Copies of this chain bind each other. A is one copy, B any other.
Amino acid sequence: MVRPKPLSGFPEFSPTGRIVEQRVLASLADTFELHGFGSIETRAVEPLEQLTRKGEIDKEVFVVRRLHAAADAADELGLHFDLTVPFARYVLEHSSELSFPFRRYQIQKAWRGERPQEGRYREFTQADVDIVGSETLAIHHDVELPLVTLEALEKLHVDFGVPPATMSVNNRQLSEGFYRGLGVEDHLAVLQLVDKLDKIGPQAVGDLLVNEVGLSRSAAEACLQLAGIRSGDASFVDKVLALGVEHPLLSAGLESLADVVTAAAAAVPGRLVADLKIARGLDYYTGTVYETTMAGYEAMGSISSGGRYDSLASDGRTTYPGVGLSIGVSRILVPLVGKGVLTASRPVPSCVLVAVDAEETRSVAIATATRLRARGIPCEVAPKADKFGKQIRYADRRGIPYVWFSNDEVKDIRSGEQLPADPDAWQPPAADLRPSVLSSPSA
């Protein structure tokens, strides 16, 4: 084999980058579990007919078939392109084993055949957190889920130096109620045009609302005014009311969104704003919708999106409403690790290299390593009984901070300090025990 080239859209981390990813994934899992969300994993494949059901996404699906399947065998399976379709199927398939409301997180890879670019990959890791009820799901979970997600992202910021996140929230009921209050029938058409605001600007959207959807110039103007409202507290409510539109759905949406914003302002100040232009495209959300940008990487798009579905899944007898968000782990980490913003303190788990005097006495070094490991200290034994200087350089090249010699002295190879130590008692400083994540925001 000649040296292989990377495959575009399928990012892979070096061992150092992988350590960053491991720490980030463990942190996310920890936050989710502290909030009582349990882990599930689903198989990588789903029936193709389920993956292509919504039409919009079917060209991005990867089909999977056995190499030696009959040439005329129908394609039946595809790789999942998100974790929502598999989760909905899992809930239906396993419903008798689940207790509702069911709180789950799911950290897995997903695949899309789209053209790779920064923040868009053909294989990527998502971390989803959702709650799903049987028949009903209380509205307070629309407040809970973005707070759990923001807490998870804030922990990545504080512990590892991931840039801070800002979540923008809207409510489909609020928008629909407002449009209906204006007398608009086709509220989805309005929503789709409002979704283009960032791309084509308010002037063009206003013209399309008039010319394509048939709104009056003043109704179009009201829609644009609504879309322009944004606040980090509940003050958006008065601004909406000042537009003079009334509808029961609008009132319900305003109340729900005010709850989210008020709770977030207390729990994670400055991290969540009501932003009434957020539409989340054609996704089938029915209530609150969320999207999130990372400071300095806004152009890359949302790093965490989601919303409420009145029917995440249904088997004809029971309907399962849900609300949740998905964190784009690859979208966050591939650029940050690639640019060197995040790195690890060393590329290996080993804290100690146990030196070997001679091949004949390798067992002495192994015995020392065993005693260190018994107390949770990761170590490896030098692969070759080279001169000590060479063994120290071996440790240095791997970033291993300590070298242990057979006379039970341990050298910190950074300071050069060498001291007697007991393999059954010596403890490295906590910061040296495992590789840690380092950040250099200026990278």
A residues adjacent to B (C-beta < 8 A)? 1-7, 10-16, 18-19, 21-22, 33-45, 47-48, 50, 52, 58-69, 75, 78-79, 88-90, 92-95, 97-99, 101, 103-104, 109, 111, 113, 123, 133, 138, 140-141, 144, 263, 267, 313-316, 347-350, 359, 362-363, 370, 373, 376-381, 383-384, 397-398, 434
Contact = CB atoms under 8 A, between A and B. Distances in A.
Contacts of A397: 99
Contacts of A97: 14-16
Contacts of A12: 40-43, 90, 93-94
18 contacts: A1-B50, A1-B313, A1-B316, A7-B45, A12-B90, A12-B94, A15-B97, A15-B98, A18-B41, A19-B38, A22-B39, A33-B349, A34-B379, A36-B379, A44-B109, A59-B67, A64-B64, A69-B113
Contacts of A34: 349, 373, 376-379
B44 A44 contact: yes
B349 A37 contact: yes
Given A99-B398, A347-B99, A348-B103, A64 B79 contact: yes
B52 A61 contact: no
Contacts of A113: 66-69
A93 B14 CA distance: 10
Contacts of A348: 36, 38, 99, 103
A62 B66 contact: yes
A123 B44 contact: yes
Contacts of A33: 349, 378, 434
A350 to B, nearest CB: 4
A66 B10 CA distance: 14
Contacts of A380: 35-36, 103
Contacts of A347: 38, 99
A43 B4 contact: no
Given A3-B315, A34-B377, 4 more contacts: A12-B43, A14-B97, A45-B123, A59-B67
Contact of A38 (B18, B111, B144): B18
Contacts of A14: 94, 97-98
Closest 7 CB pairs of A and B: A36-B380, A36-B350, A66-B113, A33-B349, A10-B43, A59-B68, A34-B373
A384 B133 CA distance: 12
Contacts of A314: 1
> Which interface residue of A22, A36, A52, A350 has the most chain B CB atoms within 10 A?
A36
Given A41-B12, A348-B103, A315 B66 contact: no
A4 B92 contact: yes
A377 to B, nearest CB: 8
A99 B348 CA distance: 10
Nearest to A76: B7
A301 B327 CA distance: 40
Nearest to A349: B33
A65 B67 contact: no
Contacts of A41: 12-13, 18, 21
A59 B67 CA distance: 6
Contacts of A67: 48, 52, 58-63, 75, 78, 113
A315 B378 contact: no
Of listed A3, A59, A90, residue having the most chain B CB within 10 A: A3
Contacts of A5: 93
A69 B114 CA distance: 11
Contacts of A263: 363
A219 to B, nearest CB: 36
